Chain A
Amino acid sequence: MIIIVDYGLGNIRAFANVYKRLNIPCSIVSESEGLESATKLILPGVGAFDEAMGLLNKSGMRELLDELVLERKVPVLGICIGMHMLAHSSEEGSVPGLGWLEGTVKKFDSTMLTDQTPLPHMGWNNVMIRQSSPLFNALEDSPTFYFLHSYFFTCAHREDVLAEADYGSRFACAVQAGNVYGVQFHPEKSHHNGVQLLKNFGEM
């Protein structure tokens, strides 16, 4: 069962809606009890890092999530702030991240930005796939997705970068290490490409 982790932030129901249309069973869980049946996890998020980590830590689900992901190797897909939370830390805040995927989160370097690339990075942008992955099955070349962020994930290991995008400078917009996946863009708000990616995650 795909479990969408509801810790208080993110388009929980938008994901549920996508999977409902695809006829892929999923359920929204906001308490520890509901997590046991997870065969896949989605960690959504919109907002600020500390707020997100704070809410997740207070939700009562943190301990079981750590076990599911780190020990039982349940595949997890972090989205936007959910992806940032996978890291050890973020420049956006002071609360430690989950540390499920080695890396940190940094703010876009303002010296590389121009009038044409204001912050936040907000809008549709092309994604450059660097490594093939079942996550990208049947996606068109250079697919566009919706981005909404001012911070980005930097991987400790280059081989964890699945895809990149350009905004002033090049940054990783999809990452993976083992069972842990993260995407910077919002597949739940990216029309057909987003639906395909979520379908791929569901069917992996």
Chain B
Amino acid sequence: MHNQGLVKTVKFKNPKYVGDPINAVKIFNEKEADELMVIDIDATHENQEPDYKMIENLAVECRMPLCYGGGIKTLEQAQRICGLGVEKVAISSIAVENPGIISKIAEHVGSQSVVAVLDVKKRMLGDRYDIWTHNATKNRKQCPIACAKQMEELGAGEIVINSIDCDGVMKGYDIDLAKKIRKAVHVPLTLLGGAGSLNDIRELINTFGVIGAGAGSMFVFKGVYRAVLINYPSCSEKDKLAMLVQ
């Protein structure tokens, strides 16, 4: 979410408006999406409070599990958001700046409701990655593998790895990055950034078995010219993806 509308970025830049959030939720309801993650990309960057009214409206409308992230810095905010009917809260910047907050929030809302999101970018040279925050404007110079491990230990119930390099590019997930994180953590892991087709998701499932496949651009754009059209695989298409793993 950006300026109260839904946007898609490429490598975290050039937000393109794709629609109204409530409308999008209604469409994903109809398409029976597995889960929805709504991230307010303005809140932390602009140092704003989460838009509680908007979150409440989304939660009421949403018939699938909902995770909200963006601007959450305190336990009170997390509790308030969970109280609005949101299943999970995602924390990112604050998790890196003050990891202790993860335990605090998990203690009150339960680990299952705490998602640590790490925005990750590969270094120019070599094989290493760094965590960036504030819409990929601040390089925290921290290793995502060590960080993910620490967050799991502190009580995060899920880790989401958001690849800045693959964001919006739609040419496949960063499988290597996923392998590194998967080896280090044991809580549910979701990968985000790069999905361009069901084949990309199939590749992810074939490689890891149980894993969360997050996608944004793939579900809102259609065709070479990236026309905005919300789409989502049917139940049988989803079953086929899972069936290949035996």
In the complex, which residues 44-80 of chain B have their Cβ closer than 8 Å to any Cβ of chain A? Answer: 56, 59-66
Q: With A118-B186, A119-B187 in contact, is A13–B112 under 8 Å at CB?
A: no
A-B contact count (CB 8 A): 101
Q: Is A95's CB within 8 Å of the partner chain B?
A: no
Which one of A13, A149, A188, A192 lies within 8 Å of B32 (CB-CB)? A192
Which one of A46, A117, A119, A146 lies within 8 Å of B113 (CB-CB)? A46
Give the shortest distance, in Å, between B181 (CB) and chain A (any CB): 12
Q: Is A150's CB within 8 Å of the partner chain B?
A: yes
Q: Is B158's CB within 8 Å of the partner chain A?
A: yes
Give the shortest distance, in Å, between A200 (CB) and chain B (any CB): 17
Interface residues on B, range: 35 or more
In contact, B63 and A124 (Cβ under 8 angstroms): no
- Give the interface of B toward A (CB within 8 A): 29, 32, 34-35, 56, 59-66, 82-83, 85, 87-88, 107-113, 157-158, 182, 186-189, 209-210, 212
Residues of chain A at interface, number, CB under 8 A: 35
In contact, B108 and A51 (Cβ under 8 angstroms): yes
Q: With A191-B32, A191-B64 in contact, is A46–B110 under 8 Å at CB?
A: yes
Q: Is A141's CB within 8 Å of the partner chain B?
A: no
Determine chain A's interface SS by DSSP, over half rule.
mixed
Q: With A118-B210, A148-B65 in contact, is A11–B85 under 8 Å at CB?
A: yes
Q: With A118-B210, A149-B112 in contact, is A46–B82 under 8 Å at CB?
A: yes
**Cα distance A141–B64 in the bound complex, in angstroms:** 21
In the complex, which residues 108-148 of chain A have their Cβ closer than 8 Å to any Cβ of chain B? Answer: 115-120, 122-124, 146, 148
In contact, A118 and B187 (Cβ under 8 angstroms): yes
Which residues on the B side are within 8 Å of A178 (C-beta)? none
- Give the interface of A toward B (CB within 8 A): 8-14, 17-18, 46-48, 51, 81, 115-120, 122-124, 146, 148-150, 186, 188-192, 194-195
Which one of A9, A12, A186, A192 lies within 8 Å of B65 (CB-CB)? A186
Q: With A47-B110, A122-B188, A150-B111 in contact, is A14–B65 under 8 Å at CB?
A: no
Chain B residue, CB-CB nearest to A113 = B186
Inter-chain pairs besides A17-B63, A119-B187, 11 sampled, C-beta below 8 Å? A8-B83, A48-B107, A48-B110, A119-B186, A120-B158, A123-B210, A146-B34, A146-B64, A148-B112, A189-B64, A191-B32
